[in-house]
Structure 1
Amino acid sequence: MPYQIWNRRYTGSKYKLSSWISDLIQDNCVGNSFCDMFAGTAIMSKKMIDNFDEIYINDFLYSNEVIYKAFFEQSNYNSTKLEILKNNFMKVPLSQISENYVSENFGDKFFSSNDARRIGYIREQIECNDDLNEKEKNILLASLLYSLDKAANTVGHYDAYIKGKQINDTFTFELIEPYVFKNKKIHISRLDANVLAKSIKCDIVYIDPPYNSRQYSRFYHVLENITKWEKPELFGTACKPKAENMSEYCRSSATRTFEELISSLKCKYIVVSYNNTYNSKSSSSRNKISLADIKCILENKGTVSVFEKEHQYFNAGKTELPNHKELVFITKVGG
């Protein structure tokens, strides 16, 4: 079965909450344009796109930008060509695949040795294929990211791999299923949200930023590395490259950064997702922006309504959140 956009593991994914959030937006907001400013898996973009003429999908990760372009960008591609390549990738015997960047760095760690060798081989084949247009290349890259995620020896992110267990060969290359939309203006970007906020005018802006110290560029460094394919030197047990693309929303400056974002927005409604991990025993899971600060900042922009729902928080470690809730703030700007 081809992959849909939600068929991946992602910290903070709103997949299980997407229907609830989309219903809140439709019941409380009016407009023709929608911006998913910290799109992540882009499940909210997929959920909302049928209701709007224009949509902005933004995230600052390289891997997410490629995924969005693969699924949402409306340009031509040859599905037969991609199907042939998919089959050929898996037909090549491992004995004919040399050791490569992925197998040397991630083999017997994040993937089995054999799986890592094939993943690296496929990535190199995509890179050197001059017969692919941009859409086709993005589809193959996104398909590789979804496929390797299924085989990864992790708990759902790449901050570390699972040690002390045999890693079986489970990798299979499958294609994603790009979406077809008619009469939609779709804008895909990889920008700092605070930069994007100053450059667009949109009816409804959905904001789901990281609230704790866990940097997504570090959590998903393997996906970022394989997407960019610059083959940097890696360091430490988790085989990470030098730090880059770090978010201010994961630092002590998060509240000030959020306030700057909200003040810059030119829109009719602001919808903010928030989860109450501020009581977490883990300092890395604890919120950098308080509930009170978010409410105060939004109230300076307009009239705020708050909605809440009990929700089991994604927990890959030892964090205990027995009374976890997801909150949604809907602000009518100037109201």
Structure 2
Amino acid sequence: MNINNRRYTGSKYKLMSWIKGLLEEHCVDCNSFFDVFGGTGVVTASVIDMYQSFVINDFLFSNEIIYKAFFLQEAYDQNKLDNIAKAYNEIDKSKLKSNYVSKNYGDKYFKMEDAKLIGYIREDIKSKKKKGEIADKEYYILLASLLYSFDKSANTVGHYEAYIKGKEIRTDFTFGLIEPIDLQGKNISIYREDANKLAKSIKADIAFVDPPYNSRQYSRFYHVMETITKWDKPSLTGTAMKPPEENMSDYCRSAAPKTFEDLVKHLDVKYIVVTYNNTYNSKSTSSKNKITLEEIKAILEKRGKTLVFEKPHQCFNAGKTEFTDHKEFVFITKVGEKDA
């Protein structure tokens, strides 16, 4: 599986050809790239050929593991991983005991037997790492592979805010391996930090900024991935089986404009590239953007000359919200340069 083979709200995968063209034309003489809100990691993966050094950051534990699996240039044994994957797929699910995943997510997010296998595999990956049977990179690959594998069969619309009720849950979980990316000698630093704090310590040529803009907290949207990644087995509550709140972003609250301005103010870069979609007037309060297009432009123009580009684009829609004339915007600010 490649890095884009997962379902993720706000993924820029289908827009990357357009975005790369804008970067090539308007961000000149650049060698380093700071992916401030890395999300799926698709943006960094798509521009690997364009720059020499990279910084990628996201505050989700699951995304950090995924970055390490795909991007860290550490040794791993492919034959070992192939054999482990083969063994996982040969397990008789019907003979497995109940475990944390099956007790909490069985016949909800996954078919019960699939949930037992997912829980078994997660525990086995942890055991292999503890016993020293797998290297760090192999651990990251196996865990990311588990996340990608169960995401393909999860009984959801593409996130874990809720599971689909009232229909048969398909039984098609199989364990597949992700395919790490060869950086060909390039450098990458991976962080799981508050973006506003990290921005004060990073220097790069380009900062790519794609924050959450509405009230949907990503730590809650992807809580199943977070819980299985951390594997601290918290008590889960509610119909959606969520853990206690953590990693709640101010970008999803009324403080978003002020938080965004603080970030932009402290970016030490030549160019600031911001993506934005126009759901500010959405009928759904959860989809409605916390920052307006006008606010973003005004904040960016304080740092330098800002160009705005737009493209029609079908946004994420779980079926409850009607969007018309949806567009994706890209702002490119040349820091320090003012309009004539």
Residue aligning to 2:178? 176
Instruction: Determine which of 7, 10, 27 is the counterpart of 1:12.
Output: 10
Residue aligning to 2:114? 115
1:173 counterpart SS class: coil
The code of the aligned residue for 1:272 comes to V
Residue aligning to 1:58? 57
> TM-score w.r.t. structure 1 length?
0.98
- 1:196-211 map, 5 Å: 196-211=198-213
The code of the aligned residue for 1:120 comes to G
CA distance in 1, matches of 2:261, 2:325: 27
- 1:1-335 map, 5 Å: 3-30=1-28, 31-129=30-128, 130=131, 131-335=133-337
> TM-score w.r.t. structure 2 length?
0.97
- Contact 2:94 2:113 (8 Å CA) reproduced: no
In the alignment of these two chains, the number of paired residues is: 333
CA distance in 2, matches of 1:6, 1:98: 33
Unaligned runs of 5+ in 1: none
CA distance in 2, matches of 1:141, 1:95: 23
1:274 counterpart SS class: strand
1:328 counterpart SS class: strand
Deviations 1:224-278 (A, max 9, x none): 0000000000000000000001111001100000000000010000000000000
2:146 counterpart SS class: helix
Identity among equivalent positions (%) equals 61
CA distance in 2, matches of 1:74, 1:221: 28
CA distance in 2, matches of 1:274, 1:181: 28
CA distance in 2, matches of 1:317, 1:151: 19
CA distance in 2, matches of 1:34, 1:281: 36
User: Cα distance, 1:180 vs. partner?
Assistant: 1.1
CA distance in 2, matches of 1:136, 1:107: 27
User: Cα distance, 1:168 vs. partner?
Assistant: 2.0
CA distance in 2, matches of 1:332, 1:305: 9
CA distance in 1, matches of 2:281, 2:13: 23
CA distance in 1, matches of 2:147, 2:41: 15
CA distance in 2, matches of 1:190, 1:314: 25
User: Cα distance, 1:50 vs. partner?
Assistant: 1.0
CA distance in 2, matches of 1:168, 1:309: 36
- Contact 1:36 1:45 (8 Å CA) reproduced: yes
CA distance in 2, matches of 1:37, 1:317: 30
The code of the aligned residue for 1:332 comes to K
1:50 counterpart SS class: coil
- Contact 1:22 1:44 (8 Å CA) reproduced: no
